[in-house]
Amino acid sequence: MHLAGALLYASWWKSFSRLGVQSTANSPRSVDSKIAKIRSCDSAVVGGFAPGVGVVLCHNHLGTQDEVNRSLTHELIHAYDHCRGANLDWSDCHHHACSEVRAANLSGDCHWSQEFLRGNFSLQAQHQACVRRRALLSVAMNPNCPEPKAKEAVDAVFDTCFRDTRPFDRIP
């Protein structure tokens, strides 16, 4: 494993234990230590989560440790949601939208510094606007959720899922 891979792996373990995503007897689903894979990716995404595959981080699209931390936390939120939700169906646009709202909200994706770098300078409800925008972009990538369906799903679940900060006490 090269240095970037070692940094990603170390960061993953830190985030993994911080989120408390562990195999437990009372969990409807579980994950194991092989949940994270570090790969070179052709698409423009920095990572992803899929049941049965786990977390994939694209080392060729992650330039800094902060990017690794944000991406890893985002994907681990999906893993956490997958483990706690026995009825979570990733092909259901509303289920997927809720996890994307939570991941965008809790991972640092929408921190003011990230929004500033993206050229989004509005101070009024900028965090919520960013979470909504990024969740919509992610859900619309689901083949079952074309853009109009994705928007409806994000709008329908936004308030409830935005307030759900588990496993954190508040937005980190």
pLDDT digits (tens, 9 = 90+) for 72-92: 999 999 999 998 877 899 999
pLDDT digits (tens, 9 = 90+) for 94-124: 999 999 999 999 998 888 666 666 666 776 7
Is pLDDT of 145 > 70?
yes
For position 3, what pLDDT does the model report?
A: 43
Closest CA to 87 of 156, 152, 29: 29
Residue 131 near residue 110 (C-beta atoms within 8 A): yes
For position 45, what pLDDT does the model report?
A: 87
For position 1, what pLDDT does the model report?
A: 37
Q: Considering the chain, what percentage of its residues have pLDDT values greater than 70? A: 73
Residue 102 near residue 161 (C-beta atoms within 8 A): yes
In this structure, which long-range contacts are made by residues 83-91, counting pairs with CB atoms below 8 Å and at least 24 apart in sequence?
Answer: 83/21, 83/27, 83/28, 83/29, 83/30, 83/31, 84/27, 84/28, 84/29, 84/166, 85/28, 85/29, 86/28, 86/29, 90/50, 90/51, 90/142, 91/142, 91/144
Q: Which residues of 69-79 are buried (b: 16+ CB within 10 A; e: fewer)?
A: bbbbbbbbbbb
Is pLDDT of 29 > 80?
no
* Domain residue spans of the chain: 1-88, 89-166
Q: What is the pTM of this model?
A: 0.79
For position 61, what pLDDT does the model report?
A: 87
CATH 3.30.70 fits 1-88, yes or no: no
Residues carrying an active site annotation: 75
Average pLDDT of the chain to the nearest whole number: 82
Min mean pLDDT across 13-17, 125-129, 158-162 is at 13-17
